[in-house]
Structures are given as structure tokens and as C-alpha cells.
């Protein structure tokens, strides 16, 4: 920040601490004390602030520093000096020469009246800002808390994965040891086999000596030596058998699967794609012409489910059909909706229940059942999603009917050709093509037949 010096000549080396608007002088600490006693009604500006915030009474335009602010520019809502309105060909002059200029005296009443309004505005703004700052601090703290919880959650999951992998690695390593031990190829076998030739040689020499020096008078000792030779031969033959079992010509192969270049690659790809981080902010745009859905909160659970299909993308719901406005027959529905997908369909009954379905395939008057593994039913009244069973009929796409979600034996939602009539629209029993329906006619609060108050169809777009 620029340092200003006291305006008093003998204090010219001392830093100023205040500026007097009326005197148009910079004051050091000593001068300020005397000045405050002499001029109690003067306005002092503390120079601890940024100098741009100090009103000196002089124009701040370059080259105008000695010109007092005497005029007001209505175009720019700004005080200016005579040099600002001069019609002279001089650098820095005449910036407001083509503006609507008046004397300061002429705008004082207007500014004073505006001041009262602005004070009220500032008070309201201050209160609003204080509340907003408190709320954003709460949100910031909550976000940080959520961030740490999320990191801890990820760490716990991957620690569990690592522990499971380590346990499996230990199991496989132990299995390798066990497999090789069962083949008798171990340290004892190697040690015994190395002694094998010498043991055979010694037994052979011992036998020849006994045979050569056979003496009936020393029969006990000779018989004992023969028995030792026989036992020795048994042990040697056992070692020989074990060695022969491990003969390389027996094609003993111990291997490990999966092979590193084949089976493990899909597993590694699965690990790379395991888990995802996404925000659960309702990043959606709803065309609020709806007479069924009144707020985002009503369909939050549906949007969350849909966002798993397109992580972190903006989701738009565009109204393409409304029965009370676009026609109340099956043909009217198909005229507006055929060929447009995916579709989210809301049904509101005359009893106030709201339910419906989603189809990625959409309706096209196919005159047939359609498999759609992304389809689901929902109940806004029950806050519940019902996923379609895999590779099974999901929608019933006949050109003379309204939107139907159905299997080959029963309709989950059956909207007939005259969609708004009573005793025609039905929902199914719990044994259906959609999961999670725990009781008969669950969508319609236990009743089979319902009358529609409104049907709305939205096209869903991910951007």
C-alpha cells in the first residue's frame, strides 16, 4: 500500500495516518490530535484502508489530480471535474464531454432519497448474506465430513479386497507345497538318494565277506548280519521305488490357472472398473408443465436410479405427451410417443395414487411384446422401484392401446385404448415379470382396477 506523508512541512518525513476530506490534508499522529480538537465535525479517513477507498475531493483521472470534483455525470453515475468535460484535444481531458452533466447541488435530493432506500437494501442484504454464509459454512463442513466418510468407505472396501486376495494367495502357495510334497520329491528323498549308491556298495561288500568267511561256530553272528543285509535291501528298494515314481518320463505336471496372458486379463479389467464415484445432486431439468409431479423431491429416488446408467451427466425430462391436452385414446398416445425413447411414464389415478414405468426401448406400435432389460416400474406413493426380470417381456406395444407394461400372461400396468375410462385400466398380481411386487395389485394400493386422472410421458435425455 502506498505510504502518504504528513502535509505539514516540518512533519513531511512522518507517515500520515488520516486524511481530512474538508481540509484536503494528510495528517500524521501529532497533527491529527490537534486537528480533532479544532475541527470536530470534519470527516477523517483512516489510511490503513486502501487509498482507492479514500475520498480526497479531487479527481482521480490521470492529469486531473489538482482538479476538484464539482460536477456529476448522469450517464456514468460518477463525480467528475471540469477537465473531464473540457472539449479540448488534450490527453486525459474530455472523457465526459458528450455525457449528461449537472452540478452536484442538483442531484443531492435524489441521492439523499436513494440513500434511505439503499440503507434498507444493505440491511436486508447483510441479513441475507449472514444467513447465506452460515448455510454455506454448514454445507462446506457437511461436504468435508461426507468426503472423509467416502474415502474411509472406499479404503474399507479395498482393504477387504486386498485381504481376500492375500488370503487366496496364501492358500495357493500352501497348495503348491502340498502338491509337491505328495510327489515324494522332498529334502529327505534327495538326502537318502545321494546315500543310496554307497549303501548298496557297503551291503554288497558285507555280503561277500560273510559268504567267504562262513563259520558254523559263529552262526548267531552270521545270521544277524544276513538279517541286516535283508532289511537294508528293503529300505534301498523303497528309496528306489520313490525315485522311480518321480521319474521325468512319468510326465508329472503341476500348473496354475488362470494363465497370466488369458484368464487373468478380464479379471484385471473388472478390478479397474470396480466401483465409481458420483455426485448425488439432482442434476436434472424438468419441464414443469406437469400436473402430476410438483417437485424434484417426489421423483428423487427415480432419478437416482436412472443416474446409475449415465454417471454425472445432466438428465433432462421433456414432456412429450399429456393425456388431458393431447388426446385420451391409445391412438393419441402413439401419435405423440412412437419412436421416441427412452420414456418415463407417470400415471395419476382419480384416487391420487401415482405410479408408472420406464422403458429404454420405447413404444413404436410394434403389435407385439418387447424385451427391455432396462425397464422398470415405480410407485411414487410407495417410493419403490420394481426392476424387470432378465430377458423377459417388459412392455406390450399394441397400436390401439395406451402404455402397457406386461408379460405374456398378465399385465403389470394395462392402459386400454380408452385410457381415461373407468373399469378398464388394471394392474397385475404379485406373480409378474417385475421384481419386488410383494402383494397383489401393489401399485394401485391393493385394487385391481383404476381410473386415470392424468397420464404424462417424458422423453429422457442425458447430456
* pTM of the predicted structure, to 2 decimals: 0.46
CB-CB contact of 428 with 388 (8 Å) = no
The confidence band for 237, taking pLDDT boundaries of 50, 70 and 90, is: confident
pLDDT score at 295? 78
> Which percentage of the chain shows pLDDT scores above 70?
85
- Report the greatest alpha carbon distance in the chain: 155
Give residue 255's pLDDT band: very low, low, confident or very high (50, 70, 90): confident
Query: Mean pLDDT across the stretch 214-235?
Result: 84
pLDDT at 417 over 90: no
Q: How far apart are CA 221 and CA 274, in angstroms?
A: 78
Which positions ≥6 away from 264 have C-beta within 8 Å?
A: 258
pLDDT of residue 65: 67
Please tell me the least confidently modeled range out of 231-240, 334-343, 448-457: 231-240
pLDDT tier at 288, thresholds 50, 70, 90:
low
Where is pLDDT greater, at 422 or 374?
374
pLDDT at 186 over 70: no
pLDDT at 66: 72
The model's pLDDT over 110-162, given as tens digits with 9 standing for 90+, comes to 999 899 889 988 888 888 888 888 888 888 898 899 899 989 989 999 999 89
Q: Rounded mean pLDDT of the chain? A: 82
Average pLDDT estimate for 280-306 = 73
How confident is the model at residue 428, as a pLDDT?
A: 73
Burial class (CB in 10 A: 0-12, 13-18, 19+), 100: exposed
Amino acid at each position: 500500500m502506498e505510504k502518504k506523508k504528513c502535509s505539514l512541512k516540518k512533519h513531511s518525513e512522518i507517515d500520515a495516518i488520516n486524511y481530512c476530506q474538508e481540509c484536503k490534508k494528510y495528517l500524521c499522529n501529532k497533527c491529527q490530535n490537534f486537528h480533532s480538537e479544532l475541527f470536530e465535525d470534519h470527516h477523517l479517513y483512516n489510511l490503513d484502508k486502501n487509498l482507492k477507498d479514500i475520498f480526497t475531493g479531487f479527481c482521480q483521472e490521470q492529469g486531473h489530480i489538482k482538479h476538484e470534483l464539482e460536477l456529476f455525470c448522469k450517464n456514468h453515475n460518477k463525480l467528475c471535474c471540469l477537465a473531464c468535460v473540457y472539449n479540448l484535444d488534450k490527453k486525459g481531458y474530455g472523457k465526459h464531454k458528450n455525457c449528461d452533466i449537472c452540478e452536484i447541488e442538483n442531484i443531492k435530493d435524489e441521492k439523499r432519497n436513494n440513500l434511505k432506500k439503499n440503507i434498507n437494501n444493505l440491511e436486508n442484504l447483510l441479513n441475507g448474506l449472514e444467513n447465506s454464509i452460515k448455510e454455506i459454512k454448514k454445507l462446506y463442513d457437511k461436504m468435508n465430513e461426507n468426503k472423509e466418510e467416502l474415502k474411509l468407505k472406499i479404503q474399507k472396501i479395498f482393504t477387504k479386497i486386498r485381504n481376500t486376495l492375500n488370503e487366496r494367495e496364501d492358500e495357493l502357495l500352501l497348495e503348491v507345497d502340498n502338491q509337491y510334497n505328495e510327489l515324494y520329491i522332498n529334502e529327505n528323498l534327495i538326502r537318502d538318494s545321494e546315500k543310496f549308491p554307497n549303501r548298496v556298495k557297503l551291503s554288497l561288500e558285507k555280503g561277500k565277506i560273510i559268504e567267504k568267511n562262513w563259520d558254523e561256530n559263529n552262526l548267531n553272528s552270521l545270521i544277524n548280519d544276513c538279517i541286516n543285509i535283508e532289511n537294508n535291501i528293503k529300505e534301498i528298494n523303497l528309496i528306489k521305488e520313490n525315485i522311480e515314481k518321480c521319474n521325468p518320463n512319468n510326465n508329472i505336471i503341476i500348473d496354475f490357472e488362470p494363465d497370466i496372458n488369458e484368464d487373468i486379463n478380464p479379471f484385471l479389467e473388472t478390478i479397474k472398473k470396480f466401483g465409481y464415484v458420483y455426485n448425488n445432486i439432482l442434476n436434472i431439468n424438468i419441464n414443469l408443465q406437469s400436473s402430476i409431479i410438483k417437485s424434484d423431491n417426489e421423483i428423487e429416488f427415480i432419478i437416482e436410479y436412472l443416474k446409475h446408467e449415465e454417471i454425472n451427466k445432466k438428465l433432462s425430462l421433456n414432456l412429450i405427451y399429456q393425456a388431458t391436452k393431447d388426446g385420451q385414446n391409445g391412438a393419441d398416445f402413439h401419435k405423440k410417443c412412437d419412436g421416441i425413447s427412452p420414456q418415463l411414464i407417470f400415471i395419476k389415478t382419480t384416487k391420487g395414487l401415482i405410479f408408472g414405468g420406464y422403458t429404454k426401448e420405447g413404444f413404436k406400435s410394434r403389435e407385439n411384446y418387447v424385451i427391455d432389460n432396462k425397464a422398470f416400474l415405480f410407485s411414487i406413493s410407495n417410493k419403490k422401484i420394481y426392476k424387470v426380470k432378465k430377458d423377459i417381456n417388459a412392455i406390450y406395444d399394441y397400436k390401439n392401446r395406451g402404455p402397457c407394461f406386461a408379460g405374456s400372461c398378465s399385465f403389470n400396468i394395462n392402459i386400454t385404448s380408452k385410457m381415461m375410462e373407468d373399469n378398464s385400466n388394471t394392474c397385475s398380481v404379485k406373480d409378474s415379470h417385475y421384481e419386488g411386487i410383494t402383494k397383489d395389485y401393489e401399485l394401485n394400493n391393493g385394487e385391481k382396477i383404476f381410473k386415470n386422472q392424468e397420464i404424462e410421458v417424458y422423453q429422457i435425455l442425458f447430456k
